[in-house]
Amino acid sequence: MAFFTMEDLKTGNPLIDEQHRQLISIVNDLLSACRQRRAEQFESGLAFLRYYTAKHFFDEEVLQIQYGYPGYAAHRVRHDEFKTTIRNFTLELKENGGNLEDRVASYIGEWFVNHILTEDIVLARHIREGAKIAISA
Ligand SMILES: [Fe+2]
């Protein structure tokens, strides 16, 4: 069963939406591993999420610079907060072992829904409007 679907999270920007599609799948797998207490999948899922978000956030930030997005600095702060939190979860997991599943699941679930539905949607709108101006000029 999926925890998130693209229908909930669609921004209308093809690059962001494709990467979000991948992210939703990674997040859903990780949330399943959390709920079912599958330790190996939890650890590998967390590592893969960390890798994929680094790539996705970088691509999103490049787009923001290309399109002169005025919310770039604030958006980047949100990405950096997420990366720091996931890095800290990873360190805690290595030092102390398990029992992080509930905290990780609730942080990731809330962060993604809030971030995509509020901040990424505003960014996608800015990019779409910028593209229309470029085509009509
Ligand atoms: Fe973002």
- The per-residue pLDDT for range 55-70, each reduced to its tens digit, is 999 999 998 998 899 9
Could you report the per-residue pLDDT of 21-45, keeping only the tens digit for each?
898 899 999 999 998 989 899 999 9
12-136 under CATH 3.40.50.11900, yes or no: no
Distance between Cα 109 and ligand 1 center (Å): 14
Distance between Cα 34 and ligand 1 center (Å): 24
**pLDDT value at 9 more than 70:** no
Averaged pLDDT, 81-87: 97
**pLDDT value at 1 more than 50:** no
Distance between Cα 133 and ligand 1 center (Å): 23
**pLDDT value at 71 more than 90:** yes
Please report the sign of the dihedral spanned by the C-alpha atoms of residue 7, residue 118, residue 122, residue 19.
negative
Average pLDDT over the chain reads 86
The Cβ of residue 69 has, within 10 Å, a number of other Cβ atoms equal to 19
**pLDDT value at 2 more than 70:** no
Distance between Cα 96 and ligand 1 center (Å): 30
pLDDT at 73: 96
Averaged pLDDT, 100-122: 89
